[in-house]
Chain A
């Protein structure tokens, strides 16, 4: 399995500011995923990030609000821009590390964001 770390683990931010979340994987992976989990809710995919190309955003998420970088095969960042209290969530980085027909996704520890 892949070992994934995220920074910061948690943060409290003021509305209108931006926060960049880092995700580091201990092995090279093709695809990295960013999820949002709002309080008491399930996980929602924000975008898929491939190295060397633009991220692919899911419906309801836009690049201006959630810009993503993927400079190499082990690292990605997600920025939450112009934050509002509705952005208070856990943000999780994930990688696909399956083999054959198996598509396990492994998750980082998450970044718990509170916007005041």
Chain B
């Protein structure tokens, strides 16, 4: 069975600073995908970034990057130059190709002006 652990219920960051949101995962599958989603207060789920288990380079999408450490089974999200609009819930998730995506408990990020 797959599992995602997000140990930070809430995080604060100063505007324009970088922040790292932690995510560790557990799976016995060799092929899997790791995802981060953002959920603002409106409730929609916004796909941010994807990392495949066979990808050798860390994924980047604009201000988002994924610090993938396969041996440690961690997939931390790094947000650079935080903006007030980044305040939201962030969910880490894993999919092992069975079309079922497992989500972590989430981390609420607060960006301070």
Contacts and interface: CB of A to CB of B under 8 A. Distances in A.
30 contacts: A1-B47, A31-B99, A33-B99, A33-B101, A37-B43, A42-B103, A42-B105, A43-B45, A43-B91, A43-B103, A45-B101, A48-B100, A94-B45, A96-B99, A101-B33, A101-B97, A103-B33, A103-B95, A103-B97, A103-B99, A103-B101, A104-B33, A104-B35, A105-B35, A105-B47, A107-B44, A107-B45, A109-B43, A109-B44, A112-B43
Contacts of B99: 31, 33, 48, 96, 103
A101 B52 contact: yes
Interface residues of B, number: 23
Given A42-B104, A43-B103, A96-B99, A101 B54 contact: yes
B48 to A, nearest CB: 10
A63 to B, nearest CB: 18
B50 interface: yes
Contact of A104 (B47, B91, B97, B100): B47
Contacts of B31: 101
Most buried by B among A31, A90, A98: A98
